A and B are shown apart, each in its own frame.
Chain A
Amino acid sequence: MTATAPVLDVSDLHVSYGDLAILRGVTFSVGRGEGVVLLGANGSGKSTLMRAINGLAPATSGQVTLDGTPIIGARRATLRKARRQMGYVFQQFNLVPQLSAFQNVLFGVMGQRPLGILNCINAVARSEDRARALDCLDRVGLADRAEHRPTELSGGQQQRVAIARMLMQQPTMVVADEPIASLDPKAGREVLDLLWRIVDDEGLSMLCSLHQLDLAREYGDRVIGLKAGTVLIDDATGSIDPARLDGLYEGATRPEDATGAKIAAA
């Protein structure tokens, strides 16, 4: 861990959908160059937390700051500025299926160029951006697939294109929402290796949610365990008792379980 100010700071974050409180006072921070694994059962609020950090899900209260820029309640321009610093890797890759891998990677700089898309379409993009996009594809080992559409690539390859798009963005912080959950174990490990290597090489900070406890222990510097919308564990990976991790998946793991809206057993 570094002694400098944290890159990402989340304090007392609350998010609700209607009456249901999904996140109920989440507080943690991620230091510069730190790789944090986020664990928690399905429905414990991991995805919502990550979406709220990027401003994709509206927060009820609390604050998220990225490199000192507040995100919750920020004006559109400020929010967009913060988002440019944050690479997001999705479980479902979220590439535009009709466009080539190369064009999808070029879209990584969409937020950073004046006129947005009009400056990052292949035909008119700056030559240095085009060169860098190809370089990003090369770093994920897919330079030879640049002109293929995502549908012509395997799941693992699609996620690597998405990682190249994130790399193109030159972020300071990476948020990865179950990046390997839709992949088979072998492809998943390859993608995770690649993602973590790139994050290390670039000295980026990362918050990555996973479902595999062994992978979490292997890759993460630190583990944050989310249960029913609150942080239950926040410790360096080495010092966590495996039994505590198992506890994340037992009993009332979802916010609706904890708020008393229990489903009667049949």
Chain B
Amino acid sequence: MSDQTPTIPRFRSPSPVAWIIAVAFLAFFLQGLWAADMSLDRLQRGALNLARFLGQAMPPDFSNWYGIADAMWETLNIAIVGVTFGCLFSIPLAILAASNTSPNRVVRTVARLVIAVSRTIPDLIWALIFVVAVGLGPLAGILAIIMDTIGFAARFYSERFEEVQKGPSEALTSTGAGRLSVIMGAILPESFASMTATSLFSVEKAIRSAVTLGLVGAGGIGVELSTAMRLFRYDDAAAIILVVLVAVIGFEQLSSSIRKRVI
């Protein structure tokens, strides 16, 4: 080492942009706290209300078990039918949106826009829109789940397609195979494991969404839950929430064990 060896500072001052972002974030956070009117008094009352709710909710009332089971069944119907169509529609959309499979720039941009719109609009809002379009009931829920699934699955499918190694598809292209054949012969098989994992996540997500869709009248167990809450029948509500909990956890276990087997 010579005398000119530079000394390396232990700390570096963040850039002005970083300062501005940090200060702006802090200001926004404090303003939000203030706007929410957080006070010790309110938190205390809230805790008391919560305790009263729990007191009335226990023990859960399963006397309407048939109605709950029926509504849960409808919820699973909505989730499975919606997610199946959603995943099926996601495959062509993802092919059109991925840079290595899309026929051209215009198509790719349009496909990405469609996926982005389906993702950006939350599932409850899709449900509200479809309730207006097709009326109350499970069909609105299914359509909402389809849109929600496309936003999630098509995006991850297309990202996976873009990560696929080039070699095998190039090999098939070199034999004179057509574009679609190459996609189906090399890119889809290479993405299969990841697509299965994404699809299973979509099902988990769809079941959770389908539970809440009933709150806006799009069918399923959410309808029962919102009725029970509005009528202050908290023990009924607790029974519904427990059933939802069991169904969601049960499916998550099932899907993670399938995922482990596939990957």
Contact of A98 with B by CB under 8 A: yes
Contact of B59 with A by CB under 8 A: no
Interfacial chain B residues near A82, Cβ < 8 Å: 176
> Which residue of chain B has its CB nearest to the CB of A86?
B174
Contact of B192 with A by CB under 8 A: yes
Interfacial chain A residues near B181, Cβ < 8 Å: 110-111, 116-118
Indicate with 1 or 0, residue by residue over A69-87, a CB within 8 angstroms of chain B CB atoms.
0000000000111111011
A150 CB to closest chain B CB (Å) equals 9
> Which residue of chain A has its CB nearest to the CB of B187?
A96
Contact of B171 with A by CB under 8 A: yes
Do A94 and B167 have beta carbons less than 8 Å apart? Answer: yes
> Which residue of chain A has its CB nearest to the CB of B168?
A96
Do B185 and A107 have beta carbons less than 8 Å apart? Answer: yes
Do B192 and A117 have beta carbons less than 8 Å apart? Answer: no
Do A96 and B177 have beta carbons less than 8 Å apart? Answer: no
A29 CB to closest chain B CB (Å) equals 20
Given A110-B185, A116-B181, A95 contacting B176 (CB threshold 8 A): no
Interfacial chain B residues near A83, Cβ < 8 Å: 173-176
Do B176 and A81 have beta carbons less than 8 Å apart? Answer: yes
How many interface residues does chain A have, given as a range? 20 to 34
Given A88-B171, A90-B167, A111 contacting B176 (CB threshold 8 A): yes
From 103 to 140 in chain A, residues with beta carbon under 8 angstroms from any chain B beta carbon are: 107-112, 116-118
Do A95 and B175 have beta carbons less than 8 Å apart? Answer: no
Do A107 and B192 have beta carbons less than 8 Å apart? Answer: no
Q: How far is the CA of A110 from the CA of B183 in the complex (A)?
A: 12
Q: How far is the CA of A23 from the CA of B180 in the complex (A)?
A: 31
Contact of B57 with A by CB under 8 A: no
Residue among B173, B178, B180, B192 making CB contact with A56, cutoff 8 Å: B173
Contact of A97 with B by CB under 8 A: yes
A177 CB to closest chain B CB (Å) equals 10
Do B174 and A56 have beta carbons less than 8 Å apart? Answer: yes
B180 CB to closest chain A CB (Å) equals 7
Do A116 and B174 have beta carbons less than 8 Å apart? Answer: no
Residue among A98, A116, A169 making CB contact with B192, cutoff 8 Å: A98
Q: How far is the CA of A84 from the CA of B173 in the complex (A)?
A: 10
Contact of A1 with B by CB under 8 A: no
B88 CB to closest chain A CB (Å) equals 18
Interfacial chain A residues near B192, Cβ < 8 Å: 98
Given A81-B176, A83-B176, A117-B180, A94 contacting B185 (CB threshold 8 A): no
Q: How far is the CA of A107 from the CA of B193 in the complex (A)?
A: 21
Do A110 and B170 have beta carbons less than 8 Å apart? Answer: no
Do B176 and A84 have beta carbons less than 8 Å apart? Answer: yes
Do B175 and A84 have beta carbons less than 8 Å apart? Answer: yes
Interfacial chain B residues near A86, Cβ < 8 Å: 174
Do B176 and A80 have beta carbons less than 8 Å apart? Answer: yes
A71 CB to closest chain B CB (Å) equals 11
Interfacial chain B residues near A97, Cβ < 8 Å: 168, 190
A108 CB to closest chain B CB (Å) equals 6
Interfacial chain B residues near A240, Cβ < 8 Å: none
4 interchain residue pairs of minimum CB distance: A111-B176, A116-B181, A83-B176, A94-B171
16 contacts between A and B (CB under 8 A): A54-B174, A56-B173, A80-B177, A81-B176, A88-B171, A88-B175, A97-B168, A107-B175, A110-B177, A110-B181, A110-B185, A111-B177, A116-B178, A162-B171, A165-B171, A165-B175
- Measured CB to CB, the residues of A under 8 A from B are 54, 56, 79-84, 86-88, 90, 92-99, 107-112, 116-118, 162, 165, 169
